[in-house]
Amino acid sequence: MDATRTRLLAVLGRALRGLMPLGLLLATHQALALTEMSDPDLGAVGGSGISLALSNFSIGFSPTGYLEAVGTGTPPSFNGVQDARGDLIWYNPTISKASAADSIGSMTARDNGAMANWGTQQDPWVLRVESPNSILYDGSTHPWSVLNYYAPSTACTGSGASLNCASANAFQYAFWGDIEVKNPSTGALTSRLQSQSIWDGLTLDGSKISVFQNTYDGSLGMAWHNVITTDPNHAFRFSVANTQTAGCPGSVSGSCADPATAAPAFDSKEGIYFWGLSINMPVGALQYQPIVFTNDPANPTNLIIQLVTLPNAAAAYQDFYGCGAVGSPQACTVDGNNNVLPTGGVTGASYLAHHGSLTSSDLQVVNPTTAATNPGVMTDFGSINVNGILMQHFSMKTL
């Protein structure tokens, strides 16, 4: 028995030695597994940005699908009277195709179907990280990393009355909404306002959202340049008249239910029409005026969203007031009336980079349609032109 066992062990020993190369192969196979990259290795990796092109595109909730924001907590009281609670509901938000042109009575469909392109392969939406030379919060200039999300950049053709945005990624944005007022203690619905918003023919081309580590306090920073252009043949229509016969609240069915189970039938012509509404609104500046998120130490459960006050650093505020090429400030000049004069005037790139504007070629208000007057009486207020808006500081705190 012992001799057999010894011989068996000897054979096994030889067999196992024969298997050693296999063991080595297995070991090297282990070495082919994934290995951790160190920070310097990761830092050496470079990449392109990501481009997005959307074709035959639309996105929208169903007619009774919604987003709801509800004020919670105990509403504050002023002079012994407690505020009511408010609910905001956005029903059926939809981004779809822009119409060829609008007229009173034609802006009725919240979903116009799929648009051919929103961003093309030649001019896409772009998400990329960049490190441009930037003016920091202390006034010094250095490269600073920022994650940028760019809208397409195709500009509308023509200008003024002949402005045309059809080939510049124009689209329609529409929703119908419900503003509900509720008793703060019982939660009962006391009043509500149902409205419809349709903005047809707008384009976001030229807009940008930036995310970065801010140089104000080292936390998250954001900046946003909002460019909305609409040509004079298209409008933003806001309307409230609808054919609800039973009063809301009161009835609890259909469009009066909470949440509504059917969309109201809105008047096809009534409303406020902002024709050619265009907005250029920079919020924040890279890198000396970030949007930050913080809280109030005295009341720490509430959130503050704040556009940081413009710093008292010459390089920063000279760039902000448009006194040089973008990112390269020069000393500002002041005229005899102590007005700060931007270099290149009010159409220069450095001025437009920080100054906001809002224009509308025509503002019309149309009364509800009645049997006697169809369309309702129309009042024309003319054009709107607001220019040179600078936001030195902005703070919003929840209560």
Residue 224 is a binding residue for another protein (CB under 8 A): no
Cα–Cα–Cα angle for 367, 368, 374, nearest 5°? Answer: 95
The interface region with another protein, picked from 118-126, 157-165, 316-324, 358-366 by CB under 8 A, is 118-126
Q: State which of residues 38, 122, 312, 385 lies at the interface with another protein (CB under 8 A).
A: 122
Tell me which residue of 207, 206, 354 sits closest to 288, measured CA to CA. Answer: 354
Least distance (Å) between residue 341 CB and another protein: 29
Residue 18 is a binding residue for another protein (CB under 8 A): yes
Q: State which of residues 77, 103, 143, 314 lies at the interface with another protein (CB under 8 A).
A: 143
Q: Hey, which residues between 24 and 63 contact another protein (CB under 8 A)?
A: 25-26, 29, 32, 47-62
Residue 218, phi then psi, degrees to nearest 5: 80, 5
The interface region with another protein, picked from 22-30, 156-164, 170-178, 375-383 by CB under 8 A, is 22-30
Least distance (Å) between residue 387 CB and another protein: 29
Least distance (Å) between residue 235 CB and another protein: 24
Q: State which of residues 84, 101, 104, 114 lies at the interface with another protein (CB under 8 A).
A: 114
Backbone conformation region of residue 247, classed left if phi is above 0, alpha if psi is from -120 to 50, else beta = beta
Assigned token pair, 2: 């012992």
* 397 DSSP β-pair partners: 304
Q: Is 361 helix (H, G, I), strand (E, B) or coil?
A: strand
Residue 142 is a binding residue for another protein (CB under 8 A): yes
Residue closer to another protein by CB (options 293, 381) is 293
Which of 41-70 are b and which e, b meaning 16 or more Cβ less than 10 Å from the residue's Cβ? eeeeeeeeeeeeebeebbebbebbebeeee
Count of chain residues binding another protein (CB under 8 A):
77
**What is the contact mask toward another protein in residues 151 to 170, using x (rule: CB under 8 A)?**
-xx-----------------
Residue closer to another protein by CB (options 35, 301) is 301
The interface region with another protein, picked from 21-29, 198-206, 373-381, 384-392 by CB under 8 A, is 21-29
What is the Cβ-side half-sphere exposure of residue 187, based on CA atoms within 13 angstroms? 5
Q: State which of residues 171, 199, 216, 320 lies at the interface with another protein (CB under 8 A).
A: 216
Rounded Cα distance, 47 and 180, in Å = 48
Residue closer to another protein by CB (options 60, 344) is 60
Q: State which of residues 98, 144, 176, 178 lies at the interface with another protein (CB under 8 A).
A: 144
Burial class (CB in 10 A: 0-12, 13-18, 19+), 193: exposed
Q: Hey, which residues between 296 and 355 contact another protein (CB under 8 A)?
A: 297, 300-303
Q: Is 344 helix (H, G, I), strand (E, B) or coil?
A: coil
Whether 361 and 276 have beta carbons less than 8 Å apart is answered as yes
Residues 6+ apart with CB under 8 A from 49: 126, 127, 128, 129
Residue 54, phi then psi, degrees to nearest 5: -110, 130
Residue closer to another protein by CB (options 59, 386) is 59
The interface region with another protein, picked from 135-143, 174-182, 184-192, 314-322 by CB under 8 A, is 135-143
Q: Hey, which residues between 243 and 302 contact another protein (CB under 8 A)?
A: 259, 293-295, 297, 300-302
Tell me which residue of 274, 276, 235, 271 sits closest to 375, measured CA to CA. Answer: 271
Residue closer to another protein by CB (options 175, 275) is 175
**What is the contact mask toward another protein in residues 196 to 215, using x (rule: CB under 8 A)?**
-----------------x-x
Cα→Cα distances 114→96, 244, 260, Å: 6, 30, 26
Least distance (Å) between residue 40 CB and another protein: 14
Cα→Cα distances 85→9, 81, 177, 301, Å: 85, 13, 17, 19
Residue 69 is a binding residue for another protein (CB under 8 A): yes
Least distance (Å) between residue 176 CB and another protein: 14
Least distance (Å) between residue 64 CB and another protein: 7
Rounded Cα distance, 155 and 388, in Å = 21
Residue closer to another protein by CB (options 14, 393) is 14
Q: Is 264 helix (H, G, I), strand (E, B) or coil?
A: coil
Residue closer to another protein by CB (options 8, 386) is 8
